[in-house]
């Protein structure tokens, strides 16, 4: 018997027992669909997180430092980081967030904050539109240096950025993120306009280009002020968090070591505290978490494949029993054992292969639905996952079909012909 004949006979057997075949394939279908959906959603979540890391910028070193006497440490840190040169450090800035009321025309951040709290309190049953909720989110306010944009991966779209002269002169100026500019000025040009910040006039000198348009809690919804203006806008706010942008991944490790030694010499345990860590480490932790979750959840879903494989073995043993006389006749007229083995292995592989194809189709639909509901983005299984899922289903058919096929090939012609 050649392969083509074996395939025809396998199709005939599967088609002749449609209900039994579908029930047999059910474990494979559920297992393949589950594995594809879980792995695709986790990969989509990981890509979404990595995209956010890329938007924030790579090779960033976060520094937290404070003195118990309340003295600022940033001026010393700024001078030291810039003394290291651009081969190691590209920029350094405070990353301190503060609260203030920003007003321009009819737009008021305090009102936006109240609307946001009302939205949270009202719950999902609120009739407000999602787009309106996103548009009314109040901006995040930050103190920054002239190197804030470099450290946080922003590019200037309009106007100019903060300068060292603005820092030294305590200039009442600010730079807007793209979302904040749209909230307060809609489609008008913000550059040169004056906003009220805690009742003080602040001139908009620039707007950063959009880089996080799809996120509800957008990194573009920010306003950056010279860090020296803290004495006017938020005198009670302590600047303890800073960001240093290293020139490369290799430089990041060296910068961490240099900053640790520098701050250790400036701030003793009795005088204050500090910590230095890389955002690259956070990214690596996210990658490791995603890999571990894929393995754990994929392993749980693989149990369905194991159950399905056992079902395949069971039904193939039943098939061998049902077709004992057929096997005896074929053996009596000279069929070799390997042809019997091939026939049953092909039938088992086809049974699992058809189940795998159905599972892949359901996996595609499941990935799309889960990605939309959980991640709010379209998630498609990768071609590698798809091919691997189909190959795994066929492999399961072969592995769990070996024993029934071997049992069929070992039947003696005389004993088989006696079977009813």
Calculate the average pLDDT of the chain.
Answer: 83
Task: State the pLDDT confidence band at 260, using cuts at 50, 70 and 90.
Answer: very high
Whether this prediction's pTM lies above 0.85 is answered by no
d(CA 43, CA 28): 22
Does residue 330 carry a pLDDT above 80?
Answer: no
Most confident of the ranges 165-174, 232-241, 339-348, 370-379 = 165-174
pLDDT tens digits, one per residue of 79-108: 999 999 989 999 999 989 999 999 999 999
The predicted structure's pLDDT at residue 221: 92
Residue 321: count other Cβ atoms within 10 Å of its Cβ.
12
Locate the DSSP E strands across 40-134.
60-67, 89-94, 96-98, 102-104, 107-108
The predicted structure's pLDDT at residue 305: 75
CA atoms within 13 A on the CB side of 101: 11
The predicted structure's pLDDT at residue 285: 67
Any idea where the domains of the chain sit in the sequence? Answer: 3-50+285-418, 69-270
The predicted structure's pLDDT at residue 128: 44
Task: State the pLDDT confidence band at 109, using cuts at 50, 70 and 90.
Answer: very high
Locate the DSSP E strands across 164-258.
173-176, 194-197, 200-208, 222-226, 241-246
pLDDT tens digits, one per residue of 37-57: 888 888 787 776 666 655 555
Does residue 324 carry a pLDDT above 80?
Answer: no
The predicted structure's pLDDT at residue 52: 64
The predicted structure's pLDDT at residue 134: 46
Does residue 32 carry a pLDDT above 80?
Answer: yes
Q: What is the DSSP string of 92-112?
A: EEE-EEE---EEETTEEHHHH
First to last CA, the chain: 24
The predicted structure's pLDDT at residue 107: 92
Q: Do 78 and 173 touch, CB atoms closer than 8 A? A: no
Task: State the pLDDT confidence band at 194, using cuts at 50, 70 and 90.
Answer: very high
Q: Do 215 and 177 touch, CB atoms closer than 8 A? A: no
Q: Please give the share of the chain, as a percent, with pLDDT higher than 70.
A: 86
- The residue to which tokens 């950025």 are assigned: 161
Helical segments of 101-194, H only: 109-122, 130-135, 148-151, 164-168, 178-185
Across the range 121-128, mean pLDDT stands at 50
* Residue 273 to residues 39, 190, 240, 396, Cα–Cα distance (Å): 42, 40, 10, 58
CA atoms within 13 A on the CB side of 221: 17
d(CA 400, CA 248): 51
The predicted structure's pLDDT at residue 355: 87
The predicted structure's pLDDT at residue 141: 96
pLDDT tens digits, one per residue of 304-317: 777 778 888 888 88
Does residue 12 carry a pLDDT above 50?
Answer: yes
Does residue 196 carry a pLDDT above 80?
Answer: yes
Q: Do 47 and 378 touch, CB atoms closer than 8 A? A: no
Instruction: Identify the CA nearest to 408 among candidates 321, 310, 314.
Output: 321
| Residues composing the chain | 420
3-state SS, residue 89:
strand
The predicted structure's pLDDT at residue 2: 66
pLDDT tens digits, one per residue of 131-176: 444 446 899 999 999 999 999 889 999 999 999 999 999 999 999 9
Across the range 368-385, mean pLDDT stands at 81
Task: State the pLDDT confidence band at 192, using cuts at 50, 70 and 90.
Answer: very high
């Amino acid at each position: 018997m050649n392969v083509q004949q074996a395939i025809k006979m396998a199709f005939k057997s599967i088609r002749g027992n449609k209900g039994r075949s579908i029930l047999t394939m059910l474990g494979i279908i559920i297992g393949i669909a589950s594995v594809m959906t879980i792995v695709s959603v986790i990969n989509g979540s990981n890509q979404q997180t990595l995209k956010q890391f890329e938007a924030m910028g790579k090779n960033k070193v976060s520094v937290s430092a404070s003195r118990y006497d309340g003295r600022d440490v940033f001026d010393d840190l700024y001078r030291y980081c810039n003394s290291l040169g651009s081969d190691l450090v590209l920029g350094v800035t405070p990353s301190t967030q503060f609260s203030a009321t920003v007003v321009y025309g009819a737009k008021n951040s305090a009102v936006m904050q109240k609307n946001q709290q009302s939205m949270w309190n009202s719950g999902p049953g609120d009739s407000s539109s999602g787009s309106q909720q996103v548009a009314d989110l109040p901006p995040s306010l930050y103190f920054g240096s002239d190197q804030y944009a470099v450290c946080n991966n922003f590019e200037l779209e309009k106007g100019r950025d903060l300068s060292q002269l603005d820092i030294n002169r305590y200039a009442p100026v600010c730079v807007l993120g793209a979302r904040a500019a749209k909230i307060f000025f809609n489609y008008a040009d913000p550059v040169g306009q004056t906003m009220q910040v805690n009742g003080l006039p602040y001139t908009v000198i620039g707007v950063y280009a959009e880089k996080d348009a799809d996120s509800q809690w957008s990194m573009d919804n920010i306003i950056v002020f010279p860090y020296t203006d803290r004495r006017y806008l938020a005198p009670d706010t302590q600047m303890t968090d800073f960001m240093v942008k290293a020139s490369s991944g290799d430089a990041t490790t060296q910068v961490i070591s240099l900053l640790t030694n520098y701050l250790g010499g400036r701030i003793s345990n009795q005088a204050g505290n500090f910590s230095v860590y890389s955002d690259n480490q956070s990214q690596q932790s996210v990658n490791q978490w995603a890999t571990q979750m894929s393995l754990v959840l994929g392993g749980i879903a693989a149990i369905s494949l194991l159950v399905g494989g056992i079902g395949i073995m069971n039904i193939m043993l039943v098939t061998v029993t049902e077709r004992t006389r057929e096997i005896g006749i074929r053996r009596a007229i000279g069929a070799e054992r390997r042809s019997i083995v091939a026939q049953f292995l092909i039938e088992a592989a086809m049974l699992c292969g058809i189940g795998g194809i159905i599972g892949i189709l359901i996996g595609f639909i499941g990935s799309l639905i889960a990605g939309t509901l959980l991640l709010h983005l379209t998630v498609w299984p990768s071609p590698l996952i798809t091919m691997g899922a189909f190959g795994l289903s066929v492999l399961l058919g072969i592995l769990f079909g070996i024993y029934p096929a071997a049992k069929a090939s070992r039947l003696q012609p005389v004993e088989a012909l006696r079977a009813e």
